[in-house]
Amino acid sequence: MSKIIVTGGAGYIGSHTIVDLIEHGYDVVSVDNFSRSGEAVFEGIKAITGRNVKNYKANLCEEGEVRKIFDKEIDVAGVIHFAAFKSVSESVEFPMKYYENNLYSLINVLKCMKDYSIQNLVFSSSCSVYGNINSLPVTESTPLAKPECPYAATKQMGEQMIMDFSKMSESNSILLRYFNPVGAHPSAVIGETPYDKPNNLVPVITQTAIGLQKKMYVWGGDYETRDGSCVRDYIHVMDIAAAHTLALDYLISHKNESRCEIFNVGSGNGVSVFEAIASFEKVSGFKLNYEKGPRRPGDVVAIYANNQLISERLGWIPRFTLDDMMESAWAWEKKMAGK
């Protein structure tokens, strides 16, 4: 089995990707210091896959700690780098924390990949790199606009670092620009566990429905969209996980056409906030308590993907519908609440 190091392996997308990797024959080593996650997720991964996953509790911003891991783990075929802070609103409030954490950790991983001759990297990027754009859907060649928040800026900078790194090393890289991950594993054994108060739409919806929040707000109901709310491309977390496994397969099989390639990971459908709420209400039978609020700093108006390239090159096709995403997210929320 090819050994893969997954940074941020206890996180939302990282944990689901570990499940997909194991199910496709990979040996996985995780690195996560649990600053935004918990150890219990590895019990969930074991329940699904039957495998214990080794995790190094390390701070990737400390180069010495990163090198100790790469010293111990030999014959590593690739790295998937998830580890990063990801809240738009928090990054606006604490920009230096985001620049330090998201960039230093990536720099140290790239240094070790070069020094330990690790050939393949899949980077967790984001549709936020596109900023507010004038033409939809976005393709991988859509010019990047000014980032709307420090989080998005760190993803733009991270991509540029990897592009430059690829020019002076033997490594091959894929940048996966995924859109809005939602949902949980179909077993409801693992899912999204927000750090502190959630900022992403779906956990806000499910926490409101379960009673953890009395009311939710739709931030900005006056945008120039079909119903006034922001439009996003929601994609099931297991579809995103599958894209990472396919990206590794692609690199390890030497199918890449250049040292660094970029793929959008999205459903290709733009869904408004009100449409997402309607989907949840349909599958859950629960009427949400919500109202419109002011626009939120850092939010783009509308964005959704053209996913033709990843379909053609990697054979990736999303399997889950919006209703599937909401149903699995609701099953996970109810399980966490013991209902």
Confidence at residue 88, expressed as pLDDT on a 0 to 100 scale: 86
Half-sphere exposure of 101 (CA within 13 A, CB side): 22
Tell me, yes or no, whether 323 lies in a domain: no
Sheet holding 120-126, edge to edge: 54-56, 27-31, 3-7, 76-81, 120-126, 172-178, 260-265
Q: Is residue 206 part of a domain?
A: no
Average of per-residue pLDDT values in the chain: 95
pTM: 0.95
- Give me the CATH number covering residue 72: 3.40.50.720
pLDDT score of 207: 94
Tens digits of per-residue pLDDT, 121-141?
A: 999 999 999 988 888 999 999
Residue 54 lies in a domain: yes
Residue 221 has what pLDDT? 87
* DSSP structure class, residue 295: P
CB 144 within 8 A of CB 156: yes
If DSSP codes are grouped into helix, strand and coil, which group holds residue 60? Answer: coil
Q: What is the pLDDT of residue 248?
A: 97
pLDDT at res. 70: 97
Tokens encoding 150: 């420090």
Q: Strand 76-81 vs strand 231-232: parallel, antiparallel, or unpaired?
A: unpaired
**What is the total count of domains within the chain?**
1
116 belongs to the catalytic site: no
- What amino acid is encoded at 312 in this protein? E
Closest listed residue to residue 140, CA positions, set 265, 254, 247, 267: 265
User: Quick check: is 7 in a domain?
Assistant: yes
Considering 12, 26, 130, 151, which one is annotated as catalytic? 151
pLDDT tens per residue, range 92-114: 999 999 999 999 999 999 999 99
pLDDT at 81 over 80: yes
Expressed as residue numbers, the domain containing 164 is: 3-183+233-266
Provide mean pLDDT across the span 142-168.
95
pLDDT-derived band at 193 (thresholds 50, 70, 90) equals: confident
pLDDT at 309 over 90: yes
In a domain, 276, yes or no: no
Contact 176, 125 (CB under 8 A): yes
Residue 265, strand partner residues: 178
pLDDT in tens, 242-280: 999 999 999 999 999 999 999 999 999 999 999 999 999
Per the CB < 8 A criterion, the answer to whether 19 and 244 are in contact is: no
Establish if 329 belongs to a structural domain.
no
Backbone angles phi, psi at 35, to 5 degrees: -70, -25
Across 147-173, b (16+ Cβ under 10 Å) vs e yields bbbbbbbbbbbbbeebeebbeebebbb
User: Percentage helix, strand, coil, to 5, in the chain?
Assistant: 40, 20, 40
Q: What percentage of the chain exceeds 70 in pLDDT?
A: 100
Is 139 within a domain?
yes
Instruction: Show the DSSP H helices in the chain as ranges.
Output: 12-23, 41-49, 63-72, 88-93, 95-115, 150-167, 201-210, 237-252, 273-284, 308-314, 322-336
